[in-house]
Structure 1
Amino acid sequence: MTEPHPFTETYLEGPQGTKFLTRTYAPESPLAVLVFVHGFVDHVRRYTSFHGSLAKNGLAIFAYDQRGFGRTALDEKGKARKEPWNRGYAKTSWKEQLEDIEWAVRRAHETFPDLPLFLAGHSMGGGLAIAFNTRGASTPPSAAAVSLISGVIGMSPLLRQTHPASSIQKWIGAKLSRVMPYMVIPAPVNLDHLSHNPAVVKSTGSDPLAPYVGSLRGLSDMLDGGELLVTRDYKNWPADRPLVIFHGTADQVTDPKASQEFIDRVPTKDKKLVLYEGSYHEVWHDTIPEGIAEQMINDVTEWVKERASARAKTPDAKL
């Protein structure tokens, strides 16, 4: 077994005074920095092997537990943190999450000012990473923050659920979210659909930092926002912004067909959909097909390297 890549962990103050648990992987002579946004009921600790492997390949990583999730919301035992700014587990919204991504992008740029910066995310985080580039004149994010991004990586992004709720359920949820935005309800996920690896399924099911609940506003924004990316907001994508989406064809959580629709529609020439035959939702945790986790790490690395190299050869390229 190879030694894990070292990282630093610290709490940093972000928007609304929120203290975010952050992780930074800083390899020697990095070729690019990747800001990573995790998924729903998720946290950066679940990406240690994946992020460490990318760091060994020369990518610096800045990741954080999102507002309302992981150790930004809970302590090591899974109990709610007591700080005044901590609204509670899963109590979030797209507006706040996009503002938080802008903070993370700016923070990573300040830490690695000479490196091209890429924005990546998985599942809910993949939808948010894509949405960050499609807001048009709305805020957040600011145009200045969006301009810092050299490319976007979506990993099984939540654009549409594979087995979506009915339109009437979504309508009721959206209405309730306006009057009780931070009401928390159960949000179960079939853990067997995350990975073919039984060890991953078992550890996820016993993870004290991952209770499967969501707030009405958070869930409504996540589901409606993803659908609007495919049907409307794709038009706002910057014409010169590279995009790659990685998705397993057997994903029963987020729909790979929606990823195909978005790639087909988004108005940029540098776009690519990479499909992994038979893989489930967490490709970097999967075992089908054989060697798929290592393959995805290599695919992400090579895609970033190609664009970082091209950017470095452009005389007037600025971050």
Structure 2
Amino acid sequence: MNAGDDESADVTFEYNSRRITLSLFAAPDRTQENLEDRLIRLLNEAIIADDGGYDAITDQIYDIIMDLGRIPFSQLEPRGTALSNDLHSLLYPENLDYRLQTVDGKVSIFPISPDEAVSVPNTGPNPEVVSEFQTVRTIPQYSSRNVHVQEVLVNGYGTVCKVQVGSQTMLCKAQRQGVENPSLERELVAMQKIWNACSGPVVSIRVPPLQGYVTFADSRDIIGLLRDWVLPSSYGSTLRDMDIAAVPKELKKKWSNQIRETVDKLHELGVIWGDGKASNVVIDQEDNIWLIDFAGGWTDGWVDEELADSEDGDNQAVRNIIKFLGVEE
């Protein structure tokens, strides 16, 4: 769903194995609410609703769309070939644009061209945007068509997924617009600093190492990163996932020490963790911690907004995580 104002919105869904985006534009005459206005209002309510309210509203929206669109959508031929599992197809899928419009009291759904749609088509990084980001030459680069998705963990304008590259299983973070997205650029810069520091034999930092860059298939533009995939412990994948009460006190103390030591090492490198919280602490099969997510930001309850993206904010996050573990620092 793409909503947020009273003028327009769109909904993207799959029908008959085809990806469809339905555009909605508010009526010029606001004296009487037509169906487009109602759907835009419902979409705006959905994006601020709690989970229960969200589900109820979206069910109502999709029921309306399917009742009206069943005939035009059913005329679409099913996709002739199986969906590709490469990252490029996930980030930049083939899309069919439609519009719902009321004319003289009659509602219809009909196909439109991409430039008539509410949202700009996702065609990849803007070649006119010049970024100051510089890659490390010795870190390999992989085309988005050569990164094969095994499991999607987060999806939207960007994605986080478990992937296979050659014979290796990795975690991929990618954004459709590449390093034009500030969170991706921030994470890449942080991961490169850590990679450089750990290239020697002495320094070891408990952050899954950067293994490569992902490039847009039709250019050399950087759109993502690849890092080690961490196999989870028997207690769970992250601190947030597990039953903390079932973890031995000695192990929780070990984790709290590892978290503090890792954050201190990051600060020595000039790297800010940023969004420090329990769900960004991964535990491996050897029951050791790894810190993840250097895209910046903050989460209420873990870091105060005014301390976001600072050493003080990281230190506050560490204290709150140690409190979450139930051990004394």
TM class, shorter-length: under 0.3
Q: Which has the higher helix share?
A: 1
Structure scoring higher RCO (CA < 8 A, sep ≥ 6) equals 1
TM-score by length of 1: 0.26
TM-score by length of 2: 0.25
Q: Which has the larger radius of gyration?
A: 2
